[in-house]
Copies of this chain bind each other. A is one copy, B any other.
C-alpha cells in the first residue's frame, strides 16, 4: 500500500512527552477516534490508520517524528491533502511541519509549475544569467506614476517588473487602469529598445474577484502575474493557476506565517501547487531567515523532484544592487534577484540604478558560469 510519509518537528525537551504527542498526532492525522474505535472496523483498521515510523532527537533540539500515513484520504483532492499534511496537527503549538514525501497517488493530484525556471528564461529571453526583478511601489501613488516607474525600470533593463503586493484595486490606482498603463509601458520600451520586460500585476481578492482580474490582466497582454498563495489560500491558488492562467505566476510569501511550516517546505508546496518563481525573504535583509534557511528554500524550488519543473528562487526583502555579486555567489546563477525599494532611493537616477542592477547581474552570472 502507498504511504504518505510526513515528518513533524516537536519542540519539547522531554522524550517521553514528545513521543506521546507524536502518537496522539498520528491518530489526529488519520482516524481521529480512540484507537479501540478505529480497530473495530476492518476497512478503517487496515486502510486508514498510520504508524510512527521513526522518532529521534532533532539536531537543533526537540524531536523529529516521522509518520507513515495512508494515502487514500489525502489523495482525494488538494484540500484533503493539506488536511492530512498539517490540518489538526497545526493546532499543536509544539509542532512544525518539517518534511513530507509524495508517493505516486499524491503526485497524481499535482502538475507543479507550468513554465518553471526554464519557461521564465524563455519568456524573458535570458538563457543563462540571473534574472532581475523589481517592484512598482510605494502603494498610494497614482496610475501614471506607477506606469512611469515601470517604464524606467524596463528602460534600465529589468527582466520582470511586479506590482507591490499591497497594490490591489484601490481607488487611487484601480486594477485595470494600472494594468493597462503598466503593460503599455513595457510594450513601448520593447518597441523602442528591443528589451522585453515581463510585467506581473498582483492578483488578490475572493475567487470571483481574482478570476476577473486574471482574465482582464491576460486580455491586456501581461507577461506574468503575482499571487500570494497563502493570502488567497492554496486551493484558490491551485485552481487559478490550473484553470485560468496562461502566463507564469510568481508566488509572494505574504500571510505565510512560516514558522509552523519550515520555510523550505513552503517553497516546495508553492512549487507543487504551480508557482513558476517564488519570492522569499533573503538573509541579510529586513527579515531574519538565515543562510541555511535560504539555501534550503532555493534548493526546494530547484532540485529535481518527481516530474515537477524546477521553479526560480527569488530572494528579496531589502536587497541592494551592491549585494548582487555576493547574492549570485551564494544562490548561483539559477536565480531571480528582486530589488525593490533600494532602486527608488535616488529619484532622478532610477533608470541608472536599474541599469546598474541589470549589468551587475549579467557580470555576476558570467563570473558564476566561468
Q: Which of A51-59, A118-126, A185-193, A227-235 is the contact stretch? A: A227-235
Q: Mark interface residues in A128-140 (1 if CB within 8 Å of B CB, else 0).
A: 0000000001111
User: Cβ of A232: which chain B residues have Cβ within 8 Å of it?
Assistant: 79, 233, 235-236
User: Cβ of A281: which chain B residues have Cβ within 8 Å of it?
Assistant: 91
Measured CA separation A253–B86 after assembly (Å): 11
Q: Decide yes or no: A72 and B40 within 8 Å by CB, A79-B231, A87-B228 being known contacts.
A: no
One of B88, B90, B92, B236 near A236 (C-beta < 8 A): B236
User: Cβ of A60: which chain B residues have Cβ within 8 Å of it?
Assistant: none
User: Cβ of A258: which chain B residues have Cβ within 8 Å of it?
Assistant: 90-91, 93
Question: A90 and B254: CB pair below 8 A?
Answer: yes
Q: Decide yes or no: A231 and B82 within 8 Å by CB, A37-B341, A207-B207, A238-B206 being known contacts.
A: yes
Q: Decide yes or no: A208 and B34 within 8 Å by CB, A73-B139, A255-B90 being known contacts.
A: no
Q: Which of A41-49, A300-308, A326-334, A356-364 is the contact stretch? A: A41-49
Q: Decide yes or no: A205 and B41 within 8 Å by CB, A90-B258, A94-B288, A341-B32 being known contacts.
A: no
Measured CA separation A239–B34 after assembly (Å): 36
Within 8 A of B (CB), among A70-113: 72-73, 76-80, 82-84, 86-88, 90-94
Question: A204 and B255: CB pair below 8 A?
Answer: no
Q: Decide yes or no: A141 and B44 within 8 Å by CB, A90-B254, A91-B258, A91-B281 being known contacts.
A: yes
A370 adjacent to chain B (CB < 8 Å): no
Q: How many residues of A are in contact with the other chain, CB < 8 A?
A: 87
User: Cβ of A170: which chain B residues have Cβ within 8 Å of it?
Assistant: 72-73, 76, 80
Q: Decide yes or no: A83 and B231 within 8 Å by CB, A90-B255, A164-B32, A166-B73 being known contacts.
A: yes
Q: Decide yes or no: A168 and B260 within 8 Å by CB, A87-B231, A207-B239, A233-B233 being known contacts.
A: no
Closest-by-CB residue of B relative to A342 is B34
Q: Which 10 residue pairs spanning A and B have beta carbons closest together?
A: A233-B233, A48-B140, A87-B254, A90-B257, A33-B341, A206-B239, A207-B207, A31-B138, A44-B140, A257-B260
Query: Given A32-B166, A43-B172, A80-B170, 16 other A-B contacts at CB below 8 A?
Result: A37-B344, A38-B138, A44-B138, A76-B170, A77-B204, A78-B206, A79-B168, A79-B204, A82-B231, A83-B204, A87-B228, A88-B165, A93-B288, A232-B235, A236-B236, A260-B260
Binding site for B on A (CB under 8 A): 24, 28, 30-34, 36-38, 40-41, 43-44, 47-48, 72-73, 76-80, 82-84, 86-88, 90-94, 137-142, 145, 164-166, 168-172, 204-210, 228, 230-239, 243, 253-261, 281, 286-288, 340-342, 344-345, 347
